[in-house]
Amino acid sequence: MRAISWIRTLALASGVLVAAAAWAQTGSSRPIRMIVPLPAGTATDLAARVLSQQMGSILGQTIVVDNKPGANGTIGVMEMVRSAPDGQTLLLGSQSPLATNVALVKNLAYDPRKDFSPINGFGLTMHVLMVKPGFPAKTMPEFIAYAKQRPGKVSVGSTTTSVQTQIATMNKLAGIDLLVVPYKGIPATITDVIGGTLDATIVDLANAQAQAKAGKLVPIAVTSLQRNPLVPDWPAISETLPGFDFPSWVGLVGPAGMPRELVDKLNAAVAQAVRHPDVSSRLGTIGMAPMLMSPDQFKTAIADETVKWVRLAREANIQPE
């Protein structure tokens, strides 16, 4: 953390001084870099691409989406954290890098409560537990019964720390022992479930709908407390395991120390973009509902989510790795 503080101090001495000038120009030739700490094709990546086009038009600047997956999102996060707080480098991420990693990543190199400038938490969605056609279990009760007969042998792909916690909570509530297999991104888990290397995976709603429509994967249940109106026939895990509730959210942050007027300008641009009918419609196709927040509300949400996930990890007996 000392290194981060030192870098931030230097950034404040230089980046902040030029921030006003950089943003005073409409249509600056210097593009904004929007880091996504996950591979292309994930819900977070799709949200970034939907948002960036409209947001860039509002700001009069080009926004380039830059995928930097790996290490539970920390690779992309650290690139953003080390950047000057001038609004030219931002990060669009899910709750895993923005909150959950505090509970699940050992010796985490950043603190989301201190090293970010929260801008806007704008999207709410969920995950779906899926298997391939021909898998012996087609419902959540059947999946649990199948896993109980094979402790430690039913493999589930995990792409983020939040998914890891979901699997651990499932193990605890159902009295099963699923085998967690880490992956860098959801597309790879889908490929391996289809190919038979994995038994199951937990994916975002957009990928789940696409795979189910193509007949390549079968949805078992959704991770939100209640069924999603977009897929009303898909049961919630909570219908079998009461209290299981794992919604997923995404938000936009910048490096710590960004001028408040710059944060407010970006927040307003996100809100305006998300309210645009085309953007809200396209977010809906990936199973994401608007959840607009002010910078202060988002800061509080990140802090609250961090506390929540620390508690969930402790209750699930998950040790940071």
- Residue 71 gets the label, from left (phi > 0), alpha (psi -120 to 50) or beta, of left
Find, among 78, 99, 65, the residue nearest to 298 by Cα.
99
Which single residue is written with the structure tokens 């396209």? 282
Q: Do domains 2-124+248-315 and 127-239 have the same CATH topology?
A: yes
Q: Is residue 257 exposed (0-12), middle (13-18) or buried (19+ Cβ within 10 Å)?
A: middle
Name the pTM for this structure. 0.77
47-86: per-residue pLDDT in tens?
999 999 999 999 999 999 999 998 889 999 999 999 999 9
CATH number for region 127-239: 3.40.190.10
User: Class for domain 2-124+248-315, per CATH?
Assistant: alpha beta
Find, among 13, 259, 256, the residue nearest to 111 by Cα.
256
Tokens of 112: 């989301």
Residue 176 CB partners (closer than 8 Å, separation 6+): 144, 147, 148, 151, 154, 170
Please tell me the distance from the alpha carbon of residue 210 to that of residue 225, in angstroms, as a whole number.
22
206-230: per-residue pLDDT in tens?
899 999 999 999 999 999 999 988 8
What are the boundaries of each domain within the chain?
2-124+248-315, 127-239
Torsion, Cα 201 251 35 205, to 10 degrees, reads: 30
More confident residue, 164 or 24: 164
Q: How confident is the model at residue 29 (pLDDT cuts 50, 70, 90)?
A: low
Run of H or E including 248 = strand 248-255
Q: How confident is the model at residue 263 (pLDDT cuts 50, 70, 90)?
A: very high
Q: What is the pLDDT of residue 5?
A: 42
Tokens of 185: 């991104």
82-95: per-residue pLDDT in tens?
999 999 999 999 99
Q: Write the single-letter amino acid at 280.
A: S
Q: How confident is the model at residue 28 (pLDDT cuts 50, 70, 90)?
A: low
264-317: per-residue pLDDT in tens?
999 999 999 999 999 999 998 888 888 899 999 999 999 999 999 899 888 878
Contact present, 302 and 96 (Cβ < 8 Å): no
Q: What are phi and psi of 122, to 5 degrees?
A: -120, -5
